[in-house]
Amino acid sequence: MEEKDVIKNLNWCYYGIMVFTLIALTVSYYAFFKGLYEPLDPQGELGCIVQYVVIIMALVTIPGGLYIIKFFKPKTLEKYQQLAAIRISTVSSTMPLGIVAYYWMGCYQSMLWVAAIAAIAWYFSKPTLGKLQQEMKPEDPNIPTY
């Protein structure tokens, strides 16, 4: 497997997440404006629980996903591809969830901000050839770290 093939496969995952998010956005938007459900009260008990779940999920998955490759240090391209796909999926998992929560709570602005933060993290997980080469480069033990 070549580096370009790995990037090509990871781009399928990367843009697949965006398609999934756009589908979640479209369905949520349609359901909200057609009145197919009664929006949650953001200050109610269930609304607070939904907010806590979305926010805690963002606080755990975004930093964890961005750090996963440094933690496991893959030695092969196959392992890198697996870890990078996990990174893309993990980092961006809060994006569709935040959008669905936004509409489920009657356009509650805070959930849109959480989805936007996940979208920014999703952008930083974009697979590129330079990133692959940088992350696969072996560390030199003679270089001091500060």
What is the average pLDDT value for the chain, to the nearest integer? 93
> Of 89, 81, 63, 65, whose CA–CA distance to 131 is shortest?
81
pLDDT > 70 in the chain, percent:
96
Q: How many CA atoms lie within 13 A of 63 on its CB side?
A: 4
Q: Taking the domains of the chain in order of start, what are their residue ranges? A: 3-35+62-125
Identity of the residue numbered 48: C
> Do the Cβ atoms of 28 and 100 come closer than 8 Å?
yes
Cβ count near 124 (within 10 Å): 12
Q: What is the pTM of this model?
A: 0.88
Q: Once rounded to an integer, what is the mean pLDDT over residues 71-100?
A: 94
pLDDT of residue 22: 97
pLDDT of residue 44: 95
Instruction: Output the six-digit token pair for 136.
Output: 């696969």
